[in-house]
Structure 1
């Protein structure tokens, strides 16, 4: 069965889309490769695509990310060449995802170096943040507005 994967490079990756594609092509495997502005698409037999994508990820484990793509490369329903240009559906989502990959990579580096914190510690920090950002009661909000407007409360 055929499978297509999206390979996305974090902005702080040392690999470039061009280097990535040249490397994949140098493997001389029966897969189709298409360079993109964010990395590449690879397509071929499912097991082979999974194996190649894992090998690629290992070069820069926390800087190269892969995910399955629902459509084959050059699919006329998605390819700009057949649709008359413009961004394809989902491009802006992928662009937004790529923008945070460098931060995700740094977090993964830290986890590998220091390990995961105990869940109790994480939940405690979450509770502190939730309390800090809890909603203001309506009556308190009215008091703040009255103070700002200089309205005296006559109770």
Structure 2
């Protein structure tokens, strides 16, 4: 059965879409590879595509991310070449996901190095932040505004 995978590179990945595509093509495997602005699509037999995706992830496991794609490469229902241009459905979501992958990768690095923080600590920190960020009384806010505006008028 055929499968298509999306390979997305985080902004802080050491590779780029061109290098990734050249590498995939150099493998001489029975796959179709399409370079994209965020990484690449690979398409082929399910087992081979899954294996290649895992191998690629292992090069920079917290900088290269993969997910299944619901449509084959060059599918006329999704491909810009057949629809007259413009972004394809889901592109903006993928763009938003890619924008945070570098932070996700850094978090994964930290988890690997230090382990997971116990949930009790996470919840305690959350309560502390909520308490610190809680609303102030209106009168106190008015006093702060008047103080700030008053100091600007005096300058």
Q: CA deviation at 1:31?
A: 1.1
Aligned to 2:31: 31
CA distance 1:37–1:146, change in 2 (3 Å):
closer
User: Could you tell me which residue of structure 1 aligns to residue 127 of structure 2?
Assistant: 127
Matches within 5 A, 1:54-133: 54-133=54-133
Given the superposition, is the C-alpha separation of residues 131 and 146 from structure 1 closer, same or farther in structure 2, using an over 3 Å criterion?
Answer: closer
Q: Deviations over 1:2-50 (max 9, x none)?
A: 1111100011111111111111111111111100010000111111111
Q: Partners in 1 of 2:10 and 2:96 — Cα distance?
A: 11
Alpha-carbon RMSD: 1.8
**Secondary structure of residue in 2 paired with 1:43:** strand
Task: Tell me by how many angstroms 1:133 deviates.
Answer: 3.7
Paired residue total: 145
For 2:127 and 2:48, locate their aligned partners in 1 and report how far apart those are by CA, in whole Å.
45
Q: Write the deviation string for residues 37-80 of structure 1: whole angstroms up to 9, x where unpaired.
A: 10000111111111110000000111101111111110111100
Please give the per-residue CA displacement for 1:112-152, whole angstroms capped at 9, x wherever unaligned: 11111122111111222233344x49xx44x4677669xxx
Residue segments in structure 2 that go unaligned for 5+ positions in a row: 147-155
Describe the SS at the equivalent of 2:75: coil
Q: 1:23 to 1:146 in 2, by over 3 A?
A: closer
The 1-side partners of 2:90 and 2:99 are apart by 14
Cross-structure match for 1:17:
17
Runs of at least 5 residues in structure 1 that lack an aligned partner in the other structure: 150-155
